[in-house]
Amino acid sequence: MQIKHRALHRFLVLFLFLSLVLPGFAAAFFQANPSDVYDRIEARIRMRDDVRLYTEIYVPRDVKAPLPFLMIRTPYNATGTAQRLNGSLRELANERYIFVFQDIRGRYKSQGTFMMMRPPSKDLKGIDEGTDAYDTIEWLLNNVRSNNGRVGIFGVSYPGWLTVMAMLNPHPALKAASPQASPGDMFLGDDFHHNGAFRLSYGFEYAFRMEASSRDTAFVFDQYDTYEWYLKLGPLSNVNAKYFHGAIPTWNNYGEHPNYDEFWQNLSVLPHLTRVTVPALHVVGWWDQEDFFGPLKIYEELEKHDMNNQNFLVAGPWNHGGWNWPRGDKLGNVDFDSTAPSLYFRERIQAPWFAYHLKDKDSLNLPEAHTFQTGANRWMSYDTWPPRSHFAMRNLYLHPGGNLSFEPPSAEGESFTSYLSDPRWPAPY
């Protein structure tokens, strides 16, 4: 029974991971057939350096009025993403858009060289993810029929970061952007490091997955217990000595830059957020295991420059990308009382927000911050984030025995707690 339980648990974890990062995988469970209602166009769009990016365009049939574009740029395979039109994109599809899914350079069917989290070019004539988004939009406007001249862009995780890149020096036609679970700084708080602490298994597996080939490639472990595998790995130098042999650039960067040096600082998007160029809807999950730091920090930096009330935040009871689950009533054993926070977000926030900016549809009555209050299990609205009124700041104190309290420790108690740090027993409590 234990083996079966472990196998089931591993399947569920794998399903969750693939559903969030591989659009076509989750889509298979929705049994969609976009070809019934869309004309599909395949294009290889030329960038300013002559590299061509593979792009799939879905134009609704029987178009009676010009429609805006909604675009997702991804390193996770554009082909198959359209199946989400009858799944997690259903609420947007009901509004009728021309959907665009694109492989970024060096990934899947696109030409060029892939670079992990390619930073903005310091050369005005250089290329980066922002210029690729710009050139794509220009091509779409000039080559796809029945468009109204407006473009929206969004995405989760890496595609969320690509959305931020498109916002830095945007094409004039880019009228709305929703970076969702976007990393902001890959050393200070997102993905590869959390508060500067290197995430070994994530860093190892994700770097290999993205850079072993132009397609997602999983590292094949020779045992089920990967925690034990990493313990036996020994020093990090063994990764290249035994497995990668210097062929995974991002892994090499981990070892060459163990501290927050110029390399990591140059990869951070935060210093570039000096103006609000496009109305932005930032989305974060309270329990995002990958990118909790980034969305809040990106929102915070842009909020400093938001003179026209174009910068908004949504925070819900989700893990990484959990707002794309059908309802989102539960997270593990935690039940949110059938409030369907994921469906609520897609129907009541995301769909109306894009429709307002891209179609001039209805009025937009969205608060500055729309957050889900766990425990009470209800959505709350605030005119600032963090909230400034009706809240009091309180201090939390560490106490002996692994306890936390609002009461300060007494002078008679011990001023420290000690335990043996043993990687083979990582949770001593």
Within a 10 A sphere around the Cβ of 389, how many other Cβ atoms? 7
Q: Where are the domains of the chain?
A: 11-187+266-382
CATH superfamily of 11-187+266-382: Alpha/Beta hydrolase fold, catalytic domain (3.40.50.1820)
81 C-beta neighbours (distance < 10 Å), count = 25
Show Cβ contacts of residue 239 under 8 Å, excluding neighbours closer than 6 positions: 204, 233, 251
What is the residue-level pLDDT of the chain in tens, covering all 429 positions? 333 333 434 444 444 444 444 444 444 334 446 768 899 999 999 999 999 999 999 999 988 899 999 999 999 999 877 778 888 999 999 999 999 999 999 999 999 999 999 999 988 889 999 999 999 999 999 999 999 999 999 999 999 999 999 999 999 999 999 999 999 999 999 999 999 999 999 999 999 999 999 999 999 999 999 999 999 999 999 999 999 999 999 999 999 999 999 999 999 999 999 999 999 999 999 999 999 999 999 999 999 999 999 999 999 999 999 999 999 998 888 898 888 999 999 999 999 999 999 999 998 889 999 999 999 999 999 999 999 887 888 999 988 877 899 999 887 767 677 878 888 888 765
CA distance 70 to 232: 47
pTM: 0.89
| 81, 117, 327, 377, 413 from 100: Cα distances, Å | 10, 21, 25, 35, 62
